[in-house]
Each structure stands twice: as C-alpha cells, then as structure tokens.
Copies of this chain bind each other. A is one copy, B any other.
Amino acid sequence: MLKSIDKINFEKRNGIIPVIVQDIKTKDILMLGYANREALSKTVETGNAYFWSTSHNRLWMKGEESGNIQPVEKILVDCDSDALLYLVDSAKPVCHTGNRSCFHNELAV
C-alpha cells in the first residue's frame, strides 16, 4: 500500500520519528537516525538521505561533511506510521568510525 507524507504521524513522537537505514542490496542495517517532516521532505525532494539531528537540533544531510552521501531508492513506513525505513544504494561508509554500518558492536551477554 502507498502512504502519503501527510499520513506520517510525527505528532505522536513530538515531531521527530526514528528512521532505519538499510542497504537495499545487502540488506545490512546501516544506522538509526531521526526525521522530522522537513527532513523527510528534503529526502523525497533530493533523493539523498536527510535527518534531523537530535543533538544539534538541525537538518542534516548524510555525507554533507564526509562526502559519503546515501542515495535513497525507496522509503517504507511502518503500520502505525511513526517509523520510517530508508533503503539506500551506496557502498560508502555510514559510520563516523569508517565502518559501513554503525551496528558493528555486539551486546555482551
């Protein structure tokens, strides 16, 4: 089913909802970011992954400093419309450590 941007429930999470970023080819999970309506709109408009920085309170394009931009091929929405999934097509690192994925640590149990 298709959902329009007007159906996304930003209000439920105080204007900012989580965004999972997944590699469209390998299906690896790359990072977890956040988006407000503006970040999602910019992602749709430009085709590159935009987020809302919760630590710096500003709109932010992935790769704006590193050059590792992440082109978004598809955006999925969850069943209650308060979480997003950006499917990206790139082989560039997403993590500031240089790893492709930010999820490179395992919980010790």
Which residues does A use to contact B, with CB under 8 Å? 1-5, 8, 18, 20, 22, 26-29, 31-32, 40, 44, 74-81, 83-85, 95-97, 99, 102-109
Q: What copy number does this chain have within its complex? A: 2
Which B residues are in CB contact (< 8 Å) with A81?
105
Residues of B within 8 A of A83 (CB): 32, 102-103
Closest chain B residue to A79, Cβ basis: B102
Bound together, the chains give a CA A83 to CA B31 distance in angstroms of 9
Residue numbers in B under 8 Å from A74 (CB-CB): 106
Residue pairs across A and B with Cβ atoms less than 8 A apart, 18 shown, are A1-B104, A2-B108, A4-B107, A18-B32, A20-B20, A22-B29, A27-B28, A29-B85, A31-B78, A32-B83, A75-B107, A76-B103, A77-B103, A77-B105, A78-B105, A79-B95, A79-B102, A83-B103
